[in-house]
Structure 1
Amino acid sequence: MLIRGAKAMSAVCAAVTVVGLNCAAPAAADQNWGINGTFEISSNGDWAKVNDRYENQPSERNTWTIQTSCISPYECSGTVTSDGGWTAPIYTTNGLWYIKRTVPNWRFCADGAAVEGFQEYKIYPVGADGHVDSASNEFTGVNRVIGPSGSCGRNQWPVIQMPIYMKRV
């Protein structure tokens, strides 16, 4: 009786192993999930908001080289190198791509003291109709920079937010 039970258990384990191997995901990640290449990006200062009120700011234009690798469509990470002289990590969460970095000497107070900023880009692929299109080479989103509360003698975080557009070149 014990031998029959052991044989049955072995058969079940073997079947589970075979099924598990047949259902396993492929070992190689699909690079089409990531963002790779050279992109032109522009932040539109005409539509900038400073602390949630519209106020024109200088527009920004840069060229980025992006390299990412993915283990699934929702788990990607990599590096962005800007012709503006900085490099930052990029990753994806819930369909949004994030680039976060520190901006030294972001703003200057009236007394000349420099304020550091924390910049966050949120981007997502968009089609010609303005809807999300994961196969698109065009992206849109937000460029947001926030400074520390209390900087320049104001008990408020200075925040500048601008819409962005990015396209593969």
Structure 2
Amino acid sequence: MAHRALILASCLFAGAATHLGGAAQASPDVALNGTFTARSDGLWATTNEIMVYQPDVVATWTVTSSCTTFQDCTGTVISDQGWTAELVYQSQRWKAAHVIEGWQRCPDGSTAPGEQTFTFWAARLDAPDRHDRLSGWDQTIGPSGACGVNRSLNVRMPFTLTRIG
């Protein structure tokens, strides 16, 4: 009986090892390329963690990227709003960031920059259409101390990226 249990355990282990090895070798292509509509949803925006309506922002992005491995992907986002940002893939999420000069308006008429970061991902990595609609966050943070306030202005909105070409 012990001999049969040992044979069964050996077969199960071998099957699991084969299955895991096959899954590791068949990693999906994660490179993201094409033209997309980028939409930041102001209805669900938060300002310093308090719900505050912001106008929706809709732009067209041209995205190019390439991957040397499943975990090492880089690229570029070009927005029709006039900015370009580096694109990086980490922990199953894409991230692009750029600086918006004069983003925060102060009562005295001065301004402060904001760093806008888009973080987004596919809902299912194994879906054949995983690059057609991605979702995540658009977050812009101003510097602490701007406008004489020792707290960063932080605006965060839900974000979707939908393929159009």
TM-score, normalising length: structure 1: 0.76
133-142 vs 57-66, which moves further = 133-142
RMSD, aligned α-carbons = 1.7
Q: Is the 8 A contact 1:31 1:70 kept in 2?
A: no
Alignment of 1:3-42 (within 5 A): 32-42=29-39
Greater radius of gyration (CA): 1
Partner residue in 2 for 1:98 = 95
1:41-84 deviation per Cα after TM superposition (whole angstroms, max 9, x unaligned): 10000100000010001110000000001011221001000000
Match of 1:74 in 2: 71
Within 1, Cα distance between the matches of 2:36 and 2:86? 16
User: Structure 1: which 5+ residue stretches go unaligned?
Assistant: 1-29
Q: Counterparts of 1:64 and 1:105 in 2: how far apart (Å)?
A: 22
Counterpart of 1:141 in structure 2: which amino acid? G
1:161 aligns with 2:156: yes
Partner of 2:84 in structure 1? Answer: 87
How many matched pairs?
A: 136
Q: Deviations over 1:113-167 (max 9, x none)?
A: 01100111100012xxxx5556411000000000011111111010000001111
* TM-score for both structures, normalised by structure 2: 0.78
The 4+ residue runs of structure 1 with deviation greater than 2 A are: 30-33, 131-135
Match for residue 45 of structure 1?
A: 42
Give the distance between the partners of 1:133 and 1:105, measured in 2 at CA.
Answer: 41
Tell me the alpha carbon deviations over residues 78-125 of structure 1, each in whole angstroms, 9 at most, x when there is no partner. 100000000000010010100011111112101110110011110001
Counterpart for residue 145 of structure 1: 140
Compared CA separation, residues 133 and 124, structure 1 to 2 (3 A): farther
**Identity over aligned pairs, percent:** 34
In structure 1, give the amino acid aligned to 2:49. Answer: D
Greater shift after overlay, 77-86 or 100-109? 100-109
Find the aligned partners of 2:60 and 2:30 in 1 and give their Cα distance: 21
